[in-house]
């Protein structure tokens, strides 16, 4: 659990990274792609690293006037961008992907340092951005519609998709750049323009991305307003949610936040794309390969220090293998390398801030009051290597699925061990017995069990995996969940459709005017 990194070289390295990515001591409040603004705002926010508590930089917070400037610029840009052929828009996104490749190491380190996830995960997040750029480039030549036969002679019917307009993106701190890119790159090839409000906890990575985008926009002599950024608090998110000029708002965060966004957008009959909380379970049956299950459980539960919406929260284990798996988990947890996220030996970095630490300790206290048994972890680490107070030891708790705290999502590394007996349907019922419905998994070598899990009476989650964990989705599939998770779908498959408006067209190439359903209405008689 000791950090081995030398702090002085680290500070020099971070300074180099910040310079390479365009981050300064004080940063503007907004960007319209080519121009920056709001540099003299009175409200500012200091951004400290949860890894070592050092001040990274300061950002100016956008005002309502700044937001208005960004939206007005985006509206004008849309008039031009929507007329650019989709494959040409794809070429711009391809260039963005190339720039991200050039800056992958630096941006990955900034993600790690600003958010707290280990470097491998920070680099993986940037790779996810690159992957979605590649996906979007191919998509730019496949924005297809449908044709269908008309009941009227010499008529042709078809459907096509058109750009929607401004897409608002509200992203969360735990994936400060990847989820924005899912939305932004798909929306861009669809002909939309994007206004991004990142989490106020992790705005520097967003500013870095905007600098990278600026290079591409300038090199291609494109107008400002295609990719926009607004640094602000919940007030900016509220303005965006209520703004009729923003036909789609994509929001990632807690269920509580998502309900507010959904209500505000729905009140004006806009579209919302919500990616909210998860309470994800892995079922381990008596027919599971326990070595495989163990690896998936540990990564899912402690990766990003339990701060993924797909983090593994619950393990539902058959009583015949329960004690064996429990023993193995305790051994692994007892030796988890916890430390600075940029240290190559670290597997578990810090929580994002002390509010998250308080949520962690409060949840452990409450679940024990309900009857849960804390088996390991739950400490707040202190000392020279952990002076930020944001480092904790991941916890394992024996619990019952109906406990109030087990029913809730705690954005921290708490893993609940739940025992089941009988057949797999009992385990599936426990897994589905929560309000959230994002990701799920089963470990079994029994075909009957795995097929039941994937059937229409099986997992009720948007993601259901067999013999892999709940975390680590690929960009090719649509990402999202059901119930309190929000019901949205982002990233791959046909998720692109939500960024476009659908239109049905009928063409009459005859000299007659027949009506559908055989209706007779001839005013010329």
Catalytic residues: 275
**Backbone phi, then psi, for 401, in 5-degree steps?**
-60, -30
CA-based R_g, the chain, Å: 25
Contact predicate 359/410, CB 8 Å: yes
Contact predicate 59/51, CB 8 Å: no
CA distance 78 to 165: 6
Beta strands in 294-446 (DSSP E): 312-318, 373-376, 395-398, 414-420, 436-437, 439-443
**Backbone region of residue 457 per phi and psi (left: phi > 0; alpha: psi in -120 to 50; beta: other values):** alpha
Nearest alpha carbon to residue 204 among 111, 94, 310: 111
**Backbone phi, then psi, for 499, in 5-degree steps?**
-85, 5
Contact predicate 294/332, CB 8 Å: yes
**Strand (E) or helix (H) holding 18:** helix 7-20
**Backbone phi, then psi, for 395, in 5-degree steps?**
-115, 145
Beta strands in 388-481 (DSSP E): 395-398, 414-420, 436-437, 439-443, 463-466, 478-479
Q: Give the end-to-end CA distance of the chain in Å, rounded to a whole number.
A: 91
**Residue 424: how many CA atoms within 13 Å on its side-chain side?**
25
Q: How far is CA 454 from the centre of its chain?
A: 24
**Backbone region of residue 152 per phi and psi (left: phi > 0; alpha: psi in -120 to 50; beta: other values):** beta
CA distance 420 to 495: 36
DSSP 8-state secondary structure symbol assigned to residue 189: H
Provide the pairing of β-strand 166-170 with 248-252: parallel
CA distance 248 to 423: 44
């Amino acid at each position: 659990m000791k950090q081995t990194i030398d702090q002085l070289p680290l500070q020099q390295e971070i300074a180099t990274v910040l310079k390479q990515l365009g981050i300064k001591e004080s940063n503007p409040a907004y960007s319209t792609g080519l121009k920056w603004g709001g540099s003299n705002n009175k409200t500012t926010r200091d951004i400290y690293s949860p890894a070592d508590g050092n001040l990274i930089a300061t950002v100016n917070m956008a005002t309502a006037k700044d937001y208005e400037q960004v939206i007005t610029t985006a509206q004008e840009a849309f008039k031009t961008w929507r007329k650019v052929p989709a494959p040409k828009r794809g070429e711009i996104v391809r260039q963005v992907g190339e720039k991200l490749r050039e800056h992958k190491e630096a941006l990955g380190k900034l993600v790690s340092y600003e958010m707290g996830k280990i470097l491998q995960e920070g680099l993986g997040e940037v790779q996810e951005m690159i992957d979605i750029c590649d996906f979007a480039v191919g998509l730019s030549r496949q924005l297809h519609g449908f044709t269908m036969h008309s009941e009227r002679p010499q008529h042709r019917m078809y459907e096509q998709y058109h750009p929607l307009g401004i897409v608002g993106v509200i992203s969360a701190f735990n994936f400060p750049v990847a989820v924005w890119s899912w939305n932004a790159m798909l929306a861009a090839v669809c002909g939309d323009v994007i206004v991004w409000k990142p989490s106020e906890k992790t705005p520097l990575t967003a500013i870095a991305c905007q600098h990278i985008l600026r290079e591409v926009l300038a090199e291609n002599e494109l107008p400002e307003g295609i990719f926009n950024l607004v640094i602000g608090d919940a007030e900016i998110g509220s303005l965006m949610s209520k703004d009729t000029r923003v036909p789609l708002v994509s929001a990632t965060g807690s269920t509580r936040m998502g309900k507010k966004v959904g209500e505000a957008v729905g009140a004006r009959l806009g579209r919302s794309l919500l990616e909210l909380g998860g309470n994800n379970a892995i079922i381990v049956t008596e027919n599971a390969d326990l070595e495989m299950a163990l690896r998936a459980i540990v990564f899912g539960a402690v990766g990003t220090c339990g701060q993924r919406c797909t983090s593994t929260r619950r393990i539902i284990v058959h009583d015949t293998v329960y004690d064996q798996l429990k023993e193995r988990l305790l051994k692994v947890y007892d030796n988890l390398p916890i430390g600075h996220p940029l240290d190559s030996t670290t597997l578990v970095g810090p929580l994002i801030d002390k509010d998250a630490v308080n949520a962690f300790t409060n949840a452990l206290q409450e679940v024990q009051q309900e009857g849960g048994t804390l088996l390991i972890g739950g400490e707040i680490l202190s000392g020279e290597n952990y002076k930020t107070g944001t480092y904790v030891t991941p916890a394992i708790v024996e619990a019952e699925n109906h406990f109030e705290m087990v029913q809730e999502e705690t954005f921290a590394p708490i893993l609940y061990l739940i025992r089941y007996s009988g057949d797999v349907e009992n385990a599936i019922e426990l897994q589905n017995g929560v309000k959230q419905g994002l990701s799920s998994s089963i470990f079994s070598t029994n075909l009957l069990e795995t097929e039941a899990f994937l059937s229409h009476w099986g997992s009720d989650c948007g993601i259901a995996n067999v013999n892999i964990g709940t975390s680590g989705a690929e960009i090719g599939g649509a990402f999202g969940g059901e119930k309190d998770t929000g019901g949205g779908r982002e990233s791959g498959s046909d998720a692109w459709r939500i960024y476009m408006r659908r239109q049905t067209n009928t063409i009459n190439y005859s000299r007659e005017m027949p009506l559908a359903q055989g209706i007779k209405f001839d005013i010329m008689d």
